[in-house]
A and B are shown apart, each in its own frame.
Chain A
Amino acid sequence: MNLSVNKGEVISLIGPSGSGKSTFLRVLMGLLPPTAGEVRIDGGAIDYRSRPQLRAMRDRMAIVFQQYNLFQNMDVLRNVTIAPIKIKKRPRADVEREATALLLKVGLAEKHHAYPDELSGGQQQRVAIARALALKPEILLLDEVTAALDPELVTEVLDTIRSLASEGITMLIVSHEMAFVREVSTRVVMMDKGQVVEIGSPAEIFGSPKEARTREFVGKILRH
């Protein structure tokens, strides 16, 4: 597949289950090596066998997982601050001040000392978003962040992401929330069987798809 992302873009990946959307994000995050092809950042190809290169790449990105994956042994504040403090070696006071602001932004200002298992799914996912933002990523990857949530809790998470999109942070979103994708994306990528079927603006993909596969998929999804 061939896809280039420009700074400030919000790109959504859509497609049926097993089409390789999540795998694509994991390759970008350096969690999986690509079986073929290459990933380039600022024009330079990443060598997945080189640890320093992988680390440098991960350093510029952050990912939010479908299952939140908050560290169960740490409270909310520590979940958000641990990587900036321990890995990026930034001063604790600065990091904690920023974390407080981030938690306020995702609407969890009063939950600093709650543990993940005391929070609802939607709250956990918002903490996970704050944790990713605390890393100050150039690119934020969101992997089906609402798929594990109860329908009522989806809105709170989507609202959070919507406000990020309006701030101009570069994002790659894998989502099945078509209305949301349509609203926030600058471009939409339709994937199937590990291949890019079509890339276009939301209006093109949802309004007048060129490919038969896209038409079929979008038609099915929008009908229900």
Chain B
Amino acid sequence: MWDRIVQEAPDFFTYYNAIFVLQAMGRTLALTVIGCVAGFIFGFAIAAIRSTRARALLPLRLLVTVYVEIFRRIPFLVILFIVMFGIQAVSRGISLFAIALISICMVSTAFMSEIIRAGMESVPKMQREAAEAMNFGFMRTLLLVILPQAWKVILPPGFAFMVMFIKDTALVSQMGVVELAFTGKMFVGRGFSPFLVYGTVLAGYFVMSYPLSRLGAYLENRLATSRSRESIQRVWTGPGPVQSEPVGEQG
């Protein structure tokens, strides 16, 4: 096996193959990033809609709830094909990549909305009530009070989802989109050693997902400690009276 890898390596790692793999990686990355950003934006919108209480919005709440419940329960591959055949029944002019992207956004929206909703619900109801009593509108309550407190609950599962999502995009190779996993299938088809080819694919996925997990860990860490770190500084450098009052009696 090793001999074969060494022997094939010069033929495999050519300029054109490298460009080809990098382009495929770019597509995987684009699918992930666009999917996650769209998922976050639409997911946030859905979570916000579901947190409303007005009777007039009941049909809308029902609609988005049904959407989320359905799309979280169907396998991604099945959604891909439903969307593909659905779109192609209407128009043939849309590229496979665009179809894949649409499917991905639909799925990530459903999942992200649940992550964001869980984060928003972790903020005590009374915070919302205090804001309401001071005439904060719906959006101000959300942006100034709820979201800043929900972040630290949203971030960890949010990033876990994105890292998982990079891998899930491999499924779009099934409908013929040339992304990273697809290149593996193709090179093996051309007769290269599967170990060599999939080793490269593995490295490609790792290079994309590892920095993302690190970024997630960094943000989580920063969010968790920024305030306590600030207050520790104040205790050390602050003026005397700061410590003179009783602290710690919470009601």
Could you list which residues of chain A lie within 8 angstroms of chain B, going by C-beta atoms? 29-31, 55, 58-59, 62-63, 65, 67-73, 82-83, 86-87, 110-111, 113-115, 118-125, 135, 148-150, 152-153
CB within 8 A of A119: which of B127, B130, B140, B247? B247
Known: A69-B129, A115-B231. A123 touches B245 (CB 8 A): yes
Using Cβ atoms and an 8 Å threshold, which residues of chain B touch A30? Answer: 133
- Contact indicator B249/A153 (Cβ below 8 Å): yes
- Which A residues are in CB contact (< 8 Å) with B129? 31, 65, 69
| A79 vs chain B, min Cβ distance (A) | 10
Are B149 and A121 in touch, CB under 8 angstroms?
no
In the complex, are the beta carbons of A148 and B135 less than 8 A apart?
A: no
Q: B residues engaging A (CB < 8 A)?
A: 126-127, 129-136, 140, 144-145, 148-149, 227, 231, 234, 239, 241-242, 245-251
Give Cα distance in the complex from A62 to B25, angstroms.
Answer: 57
A120 touches B133 (CB 8 A): no
Q: In the bound complex, do residue A120 and residue B145 qualify as a contact, i.e. CB atoms below 8 Å apart?
A: no
Besides A58-B135, A83-B136, 11 more A-B contacts (Cβ < 8 Å) are: A31-B133, A71-B144, A71-B145, A110-B242, A115-B231, A119-B247, A120-B247, A120-B249, A135-B134, A149-B251, A150-B249
CA distance A114 to B239 in the complex (A): 13
Let me know if B234 and A113 touch, CB within 8 A.
Answer: yes
A58 to B130, CA, bound (A): 11
From A83, A123, A148, give the contact of B134 (CB < 8 A): A83
Given contacts A31-B129, A67-B126, contact A87 B241 (CB under 8 A): no
**27 examples of A-B residue contacts, CB within 8 angstroms:** A30-B133, A31-B129, A58-B133, A58-B135, A62-B134, A63-B133, A68-B251, A71-B130, A71-B144, A72-B127, A72-B149, A73-B148, A73-B149, A83-B134, A83-B136, A87-B134, A87-B135, A114-B234, A115-B227, A115-B231, A118-B231, A120-B245, A120-B247, A122-B249, A149-B249, A152-B249, A153-B251
Q: Which of B144, B227, B234, B241 contacts A86 (CB 8 A)?
A: B144
A70 to B149 CA separation, bound complex (whole angstroms): 12
Taken together as a complex, chains A and B put the C-alpha atoms of A29 and B130 apart, in Å, by: 11
Distance (whole angstroms) from the CB of B95 to the closest CB of chain A? 43
Could you tell me the distance between the alpha carbons of A148 and B249 in the complex, rounded to whole angstroms? 11
| Chain B residues, CB < 8 A from A122 | 249
